[in-house]
Amino acid sequence: MAISKLASDINLANLDCTSLKGVGPKLAEKLERLHIRNVLDLLLHLPLRYEDRTQIKSIASLQDGDRALIKVQVEMSQVKYGKRRSLVCRAADNTASIDFRFFYFNKSQQQRLEKGAEFYAFGEVRRFGFQCNMVHPELTAITATSTAPLLDSLTPVYPTTDGLHQNSLRPLTRQAVDLLDKHPIDNLLPENVQNQFKLPDINQALKWIHTPPKDAKPESLQQFTSPAARRLICEELLAHQLSMMLHRHKLEEQQAQAMHSDGKLQDTLLQQLPFKPTKAQQRVSQEIIHDLQHSKPMLRLLQGDVGAGKTLVSAMAALQAIEAGFQVAIMAPTEILAEQHYLSFSQWMNELGVKTAFLISKLPAKQKNESLEQIASGKAQLIIGTHALFQKDVHYHKLGLAIIDEQHRFGVNQRLALKQKAPEGYQLHQLMMTATPIPRTLAMTVYADMDVSIIDELPPGRTPVQTVALSDQKREQIIQRITTACGEEERQVYWVCTLIDESEEVQCQAAETTANQLAEQLPNLNVGLVHGRLKSEQKQIVMDKFKSNELDILVATTVIEVGVDVPNASLMVIENPERLGLSQLHQLRGRVGRGSIESHCVLLYQQPLSNNAKARIQVMRDTNDGFVIAEEDLKLRGPGELLGTRQTGDIGLRFADLVRDAELVSELQQVAHDLAEQSPQLAQKITQRWLGSRQDFADV
């Protein structure tokens, strides 16, 4: 794998931005916000789109949303008074007229726009009927000696931050491109990879991206299909995959404690169950147990759709560690989910003689101290809780396995803190679980450091949930349907309240209002309420009543998204589903249909719906397959929102797109694997180029 030699002794990665003309401490601070510290960072700060200032367009040819350069003569201008004072100027060329509007102007600008004055104007076009408009266009006066401000290349539009404008970024990038001509950067991709994907040299690609010629095809620019774009997309995707793989190799060099047992506890648990595990559960359990028996730290992601049986699989893993003499910590993102796990696991573990402890922040002092003592002494073998599990005052006797449920809802620092509870000199085995299926392209890019197990089979007897969408104007029909479900059919109902306001207090108030309204409308039914501001004991009392069928209707905020299992519940109403993502809607819907009875989910939406909301609701109506839903969610929302906090909400791709470039992701996986195995130093260089200090997220 030969790499071209540096053409110069100047390394642009070591050339600070302050070496560029016009960059002082204040501008350097603004660039820092965009992760731009050196000239190479500036070159890798890639355009979002382009503007065409290479030609003058006629007004008649302009479309709504175009950003164009036109040549006009002023016909009239006047100050108009309304809600806001504005200067309006009517101008025209020989094809049509256009209105310019300025909300910020002075006397001098007003005088400049006198009748008969000629200008070149650049701005975004908005059409209202047949009339074109531009708000605050850039104007260049035409004089006897002036020439058209035409450029030789298309104009890039870069991502910016507060106080940093295109007029500042563009000159800096032009300086960086000039330096690139004199001091080319390393062409890190091996020649065979360049040939395989038909990629140009990195220096040519960067120059073309920042200064595309005026004859560049607009469609190739918009869709990022040019050879230059493909080069940068490939290298960036490769860097992300390599980052994960290098982290995996680093982890494998460390030691975990091998966990051997004869499986007696597991066999006893299986004998006590009223059902037989599915083949998928058996297969996945064996994969995890195989990992635990080795001294390489396990880092495995367990995926399973709603109701697939991840709890049993995690219990089998926990028993493997416990029988081998280690403690196991199960961390859940919410108290209600932690409580559900504690109840489920306690029932199983008590029968096996395994001591279980519970730890959340809101525990009474006496109970909390008792749990801490049992954890430190080793008396507690299985510890279940929230982020309280990794606080400073928690000391484990011999922690060997961490099971993290709904792992995408934990921050990097939280998972790292739990890892540090391992015995000195050892790494924890880690099992990450999610009921939110992860699209294949995301899994290959963001979770390339993990082994992935998928429970791709639901327990027998499950009936698919029927999903319907109704306008909230048909609320009365829902009330009648609830009467039938709870009265004649003796079933139970979830009513989920969602709000666009993220204030927990406001959401809880809305849930309380809904519960009171339902109690008035359905006086013969018992209505319960669960929300995030209830104390732990209060939530548990309500949940227990719902489980034991003492409550007919449970009104809740989205705290019931995961972990609640009431097979008798056959109807779920989700208010304002247009405000939730597909994966969250799918999680909520998974609270019903957990038995053999026919179940329904009603999406009670508010009109008017956006096109995006209509698309999400249609997907929910069309399928119950979590993996199909996850793929659609990725297309609609992008990776940032689906990933949660693994990369603080964003995997940091500058140019590549996991939806658009999905085919490349799979093709590059083998390339990344080969590079990580055969040329780890080269792999590190590629990763450093694209991620720099942002690689830190991988070390979790």
HEC string for 257-286: CCCCCCCHHHHHHHHHCCCCCCHHHHHHHH
Please give the pLDDT value at position 1. 40
pLDDT digits (tens, 9 = 90+) for 250-303: 888 889 999 999 999 999 999 998 889 999 999 999 999 999 999 999 989 898
461 belongs to a structural domain: no
Q: Exposure of 231 by Cβ count < 10 A (0-12 exposed, 13-18 middle, 19+ buried)?
A: buried
Residue ranges in 528-610 assigned as alpha helix (H): 536-547, 582-589
Residue bearing tokens 């227990």 = 544
Q: Are residues 339 and 434 located together in one domain of the fold? A: yes
Q: Are residues 520 and 429 located together in one domain of the fold? A: no
Residue ranges in 459-503 assigned as alpha helix (H): 475-483
Q: Exposure of 144 by Cβ count < 10 A (0-12 exposed, 13-18 middle, 19+ buried)?
A: exposed
Please give the pLDDT value at position 403. 94
249 belongs to a structural domain: no
Please give the pLDDT value at position 245. 85
Please name the helix (run of DSSP H) or strand (run of DSSP E) that holds residue 417, with its range, or none. helix 412-419
Closest by CA to 381, choosing from 358, 349, 354, 402, is 354
Q: Two tokens at 68? A: 């164009």
DSSP state of 486: I
Please give the pLDDT value at position 268. 94
Residue bearing tokens 């395989």 = 196
Residue ranges in 421-574 assigned as alpha helix (H): 440-446, 475-483, 504-521, 536-547
Band of residue 246 on the pLDDT scale cut at 50, 70, 90: confident
How far apart, in whole angstroms, are the C-alpha atoms of residue 174 and residue 42? 10
Contact 239, 691 (CB under 8 A): yes
Total length of the chain: 700
Band of residue 5 on the pLDDT scale cut at 50, 70, 90: very low
681 vs 695 pLDDT, higher one: 681
How far apart, in whole angstroms, are the C-alpha atoms of residue 264 and residue 23? 68
697 vs 687 pLDDT, higher one: 687
Q: Are residues 113 and 133 located together in one domain of the fold? A: yes
User: What average pLDDT score do residues 505-517 get?
Assistant: 77
Contact 497, 510 (CB under 8 A): yes
Please give the pLDDT value at position 507. 58
Q: Are residues 202 and 308 located together in one domain of the fold? A: no
Backbone dihedral region for residue 649 (phi beyond 0: left; psi -120 to 50: alpha; all else: beta): left
Amino acid 275 reads F
How far apart, in whole angstroms, are the C-alpha atoms of residue 630 and residue 624? 11
Q: Are residues 79 and 131 located together in one domain of the fold? A: yes
Query: Is the pLDDT confidence value at 377 over 60?
Result: yes
Query: Is the pLDDT confidence value at 90 over 90?
Result: yes
Closest by CA to 448, choosing from 676, 193, 197, is 676
Please say which residue of 401, 430, 455 terminates a domain: 455
For the chain, the straight-line distance linking the first and the last C-alpha, in angstroms and rounded, comes to 31
State how far the alpha carbon of 467 is from the alpha carbons of 403, 576, 604, in Å: 33, 15, 11
Q: Are residues 289 and 349 located together in one domain of the fold? A: yes
Q: Are residues 391 and 440 located together in one domain of the fold? A: yes
Query: Is the pLDDT confidence value at 694 over 70?
Result: no
- The answer to which of 57-71, 137-151, 496-510, 613-627 has the lowest mean pLDDT is 496-510
528 belongs to a structural domain: yes
Task: Give the domain extent around 68.
Answer: 55-141
Q: Two tokens at 449? A: 């450091």
Please say which residue of 574, 601, 623 terminates a domain: 623
User: What average pLDDT score do residues 451-456 get?
Assistant: 88
531 belongs to a structural domain: yes
How far apart, in whole angstroms, are the C-alpha atoms of residue 535 and residue 542? 11
Contact 654, 46 (CB under 8 A): yes
634 belongs to a structural domain: no
Query: Is the pLDDT confidence value at 640 over 70?
Result: no
566 vs 157 pLDDT, higher one: 157
Q: Where are the beta strands (DSSP E) in 125-255?
A: 126-128, 131-135, 138-141, 155-157
Amino acid 551 reads L
DSSP 3-state of 121: strand
Rg over CA atoms, the chain: 30
pLDDT digits (tens, 9 = 90+) for 181-204: 999 999 999 999 999 999 999 999
CATH number, domain containing residue 352: 3.40.50.300
CATH number, domain containing residue 117: 2.40.50.140
- The answer to which of 35-49, 286-300, 430-444 has the lowest mean pLDDT is 430-444
Alpha-carbon torsion angle 518, 522, 528, 533, nearest 10? 20
HEC-encoded secondary structure of 620-640: HHHCCCHHHHHHHHHHHHCHH
Please give the pLDDT value at position 248. 81
255 belongs to a structural domain: no
How far apart, in whole angstroms, are the C-alpha atoms of residue 472 and residue 272? 46
Band of residue 561 on the pLDDT scale cut at 50, 70, 90: low
202 belongs to a structural domain: yes
Q: Are residues 616 and 508 located together in one domain of the fold? A: yes
Spell out the residues 6+ positions from residue 527 whose beta carbon is closer than 8 angstroms to its own. 515, 518, 519, 551, 552, 553, 555
Please name the helix (run of DSSP H) or strand (run of DSSP E) that holds residue 68, with its range, or none. strand 67-80
- B/e letters for 315-335, b = 16+ CB within 10 Å, e = fewer, are bbbbbbbbbbebbbbbbbbbb
- The answer to which of 7-11, 58-62, 222-226, 619-623 has the lowest mean pLDDT is 7-11
Band of residue 543 on the pLDDT scale cut at 50, 70, 90: confident
585 vs 537 pLDDT, higher one: 585
Q: Two tokens at 286? A: 């064996």
Q: Are residues 124 and 190 located together in one domain of the fold? A: no
pLDDT digits (tens, 9 = 90+) for 132-154: 999 999 999 998 888 888 888 88
Spell out the residues 6+ positions from residue 681 whose beta carbon is closer than 8 angstroms to its own. none
Mean pLDDT (the chain, rounded): 86
Q: Going edge to edge, which strands form the sheet with 86-92? A: 126-128, 131-135, 97-102, 86-92, 67-80, 118-124, 138-141
107 belongs to a structural domain: yes
Contact 113, 74 (CB under 8 A): yes
Query: Is the pLDDT confidence value at 639 over 70?
Result: no
Q: Are residues 435 and 386 located together in one domain of the fold? A: yes
Number of structural domains in the chain:
4
217 vs 287 pLDDT, higher one: 287
Please give the pLDDT value at position 646. 37
- The answer to which of 39-48, 340-349, 526-535 has the lowest mean pLDDT is 526-535
Q: Are residues 479 and 545 located together in one domain of the fold? A: yes
State how far the alpha carbon of 465 is from the alpha carbons of 290, 469, 492, in Å: 35, 13, 15
DSSP state of 291: H
Please name the helix (run of DSSP H) or strand (run of DSSP E) that holds residue 177, with its range, or none. helix 166-182
DSSP 3-state of 587: helix
State how far the alpha carbon of 22 is from the alpha carbons of 169, 175, 547, in Å: 11, 10, 67
How far apart, in whole angstroms, are the C-alpha atoms of residue 239 and residue 683? 8
Contact 44, 691 (CB under 8 A): no
Band of residue 309 on the pLDDT scale cut at 50, 70, 90: confident
Please give the pLDDT value at position 506. 58
The reply to whether omega before 460 is within 30° of 0 (cis) is no
pLDDT digits (tens, 9 = 90+) for 391-412: 889 999 999 999 998 766 665 5
DSSP 3-state of 329: strand
Q: Exposure of 633 by Cβ count < 10 A (0-12 exposed, 13-18 middle, 19+ buried)?
A: buried
Please give the pLDDT value at position 492. 92
Q: Are residues 72 and 101 located together in one domain of the fold? A: yes
State how far the alpha carbon of 295 is from the alpha carbons of 262, 417, 477, in Å: 17, 21, 59
User: Distance from CA of residue 301 to its chain's centroid?
Assistant: 17
List the beta bridge partners of residue 151. none
Closest by CA to 301, choosing from 310, 309, 237, 293, is 310
